[in-house]
Structure 1
Amino acid sequence: MYEQISGNIWRSRALILVFMAFFAGIGYVFARVEDNILILPAAIAFAMLMTVGSYYYSDKIVLGTVGARPADKEEFPHYVNAVEGLALAAGLPAPKTYVIDDPAPNAFATGRDPEHAVICCTTGLLGMMDRTELEGVLAHEMSHVKNYDIRFMMLVAVMVGAIALLADWFWWSGRFGGFRSRDDRDNGQLGMILFLIGLALAILAPISAMLIQAAISRQREYLADASGAMMTRFPDGLANALQKIAADEEPLQSANKATAHLFISNPLREHGGGLNSLFDTHPPIEERIERLRAM
């Protein structure tokens, strides 16, 4: 457990450094093309601001992206009380509780650390699960909080989205001239470079995003399943919940590829096969159920 926590903290720091280096590289290209050395420190400063913003506000960004709202205790008493009880049992501060108004059953956790954690469930999941099943799902998410999975997953979601936006910006700037250079020749040169960078990012960004998300070890989900089952001392609760989730084929409307890896089950309802399985962010749900039944 402590190795998992330490590894996630290290990976989060490494991801931040890679992100800053990426923007520094972009700044270097611009500095060379524009012959303006000030562009490089400006790009580094921008990357630092993006990193700080991602660290402190990415949970709000993710919650806004999926259309989540705070869970009212009067409306969802069993949900809020279960989270508070599991947090007490795990020796953690109680995460804030949110809901997504969507019939597809799913849930995720996010935040930068246990003191600033959030657990979010869909109304479909809350209406579908009995008490033991709901506790199994929430214990799984609480394990992500305790293991610091949430920080790494949160940073991945925001940074993948930032790279996708940057790719779009390069593409349109290159096509329509996002900068005015010293003369038409320089402007044409910069426009071509922006266009080529945008084209490369537009092609590589989705592939890179899938590889990064797939690189988030599938064992993380297995570990959260096992840790959650130990927390409730009733593995069948989570196994039954996963069985119900697997039986529901409806995709989560507000989900996207940047946030899909956060959820307990793939919210896009895509099933891997052949080469596609290399990019799966979740292990097969049948295998997860089988492991839980064997505990």
Structure 2
Amino acid sequence: MVLFVAFIALLAWVFGEASGYGGSFIGIALIISGTISFTSYWWSDKAVLAMTGAQPADQKVHFDFYTTAENMAIAAGLPKPKLYVIDDPAPNAFATGRDPEHAVVVATTGILECLDRTELEGVIAHELSHIKNFDIRLMAIVTVLVGTVAFVADLFMRNLWWGGRRNNDRSSGSGIFLIVGIILAILSPIVATLIKLAISRKREYLADASGANLTRNPDALADALEKIASNPHMLRNASSSTAHLFIENPFKKKNAGQLFASLFNTHPPLEERIRILRAM
């Protein structure tokens, strides 16, 4: 994480030198990105719930969801999270929130209908593991950092396109900074996104293992993942900005086995996750 922040600072410095604004470019970028980060930290969960169309769960209607979440939260030593439901036949679930005291677990009506109670325990344990491991905070911060990289790169390119350079220094050193700045502006958002996706895949493996340890029944989660994979429905409100949150990729991509495509996947291969769980 420290290296990620240092990378952003380096980008801002290079872009400032290349555009002729020097340290002032860094200041502007940090002020704007800091405001975005503050807003995202405190209100990102509400934005995600609104984007996915999630509504508060009804204890009478979603009795198994409520009681399973309560039991698993007690076993994990966590406060019971707020529970929300998405009216969608695609089976999926996710956790969000900035910390265990402000966490939310969301499940689709599809997953609540197709899983038995044991399998639902496996899924809820997986999501509670994300909460206990502070994955929801980590991914929120990483997402903000990736967005900051994209913002800084876009600000630099717009400044070059519309405003030109601040000074007329034509020295070779200045020209080198300009060339390096343009290259970084093109490549840095891609690199930052790849880092974010790699972190997301690694945290999914950890949540699988932690959830299996919580229930002492890794086959429950493996069975649930198999049912999720075999279901043909795709989440209606799925978006690239929220896909990494779900227990399984809501877009149901089939090319995860290809090396290049797998770099851009939000989740590790489902077959590999199931294989590891079966081997526990």
Query: TM-score normalised to the size of structure 1?
Result: 0.75
Counterpart Cα distance in 2 of 1:127 and 1:286: 23
Kindly indicate whether residue 225 of structure 2 is the aligned counterpart of residue 238 of structure 1.
no
Give how far 1:40 is off.
4.4
8 Å contact from structure 1 (residues 209, 258) kept in 2: no
Please state if 1:212 is matched with 2:200.
Answer: no
Matched, 1:264 2:247: yes
Judge conservation of contact 1:167–1:199 (CA < 8 Å) in 2: no
RMSD over aligned Cα atoms: 3.4
Q: 2:30 aligns with which of 27, 39, 44?
A: 44
Alignment of 1:31-180 (within 5 A): 33=20, 40-161=26-147, 177=162
SS of the residue aligned with 2:84?
strand
Secondary structure, aligned partner of 1:97 = strand
Structure 1's 238 and 70: CA in aligned 2 closer, same or farther, altered over 3 A?
A: same
Distance 1:155 1:72, change over 3 A: farther
What is the alpha-carbon distance in structure 2 between the residues aligned to residue 24 and residue 207 of structure 1? 16
Q: Which runs of 5+ in 1 are unaligned?
A: 1-10, 186-195
- What's the CA shift for 1:165? 6.3
CA 1:169–1:252: 2 relative to 1, 3 Å: farther
**1:51 match: secondary structure:** helix
**Does structure 2 retain, via aligned residues, the 8 Å contact 1:19–1:47?**
no
Contact 2:197 2:263 in 1 (8 A): no
Q: In 2 relative to 1, CA 56–142 (structure 1 residues): closer, same or farther, beyond 3 Å? A: same
Say whether 1:253 aligns with 2:239: no
Amino acid at match of 2:80: A
Corresponding position of 1:275: 260
SS at match of 1:266: coil
Inter-partner Cα distance in structure 2 for 1:18 and 1:54? 20
Amino acid paired to 1:135? E
Q: CA deviation at 1:145?
A: 0.8
Alpha-carbon distance, 1:148 to partner: 1.2
Q: In 2 relative to 1, CA 152–227 (structure 1 residues): closer, same or farther, beyond 3 Å?
A: same
Whole-angstrom distance in 2 between the partners of 1:169 and 1:255:
28
Bigger relative contact order, structure 1 or 2, given CA contacts below 8 A and separation 6+? 2
Give unmatched runs, 5+ long, in structure 2. Answer: 169-179
Letter in 2 for 1:88: I
Q: Give the Cα separation in 2 of the matches to 1:14 and 1:55.
A: 20
Check conservation: 1:137, 1:238, Cα contact below 8 A: yes
2:277 is aligned with 1:292: yes
Among the aligned pairs, what percent are the same residue? Answer: 47
- Structure 2 CA distance for aligned equivalents of residues 99 and 166 of structure 1: 36
Aligned to 1:192: none
Distance 1:14 1:172, change over 3 A: closer
Distance in 2 of aligned mates of 1:242 and 1:276: 21
Q: Counterpart of 2:91 in 1: which secondary structure? A: coil
**Where does residue 8 of structure 1 map in the other structure?**
none
Hey, what's the Cα distance between the residues in 1 that align with 2:57 and 2:181? Answer: 43
**Structure 2 vs 1, CA of residues 168 and 20 (structure 1 numbering), >3 Å: closer, same or farther?**
closer
The whole-number CA distance in structure 2 between the counterparts of 1:203 and 1:283 is 24
Aligned residues: 270
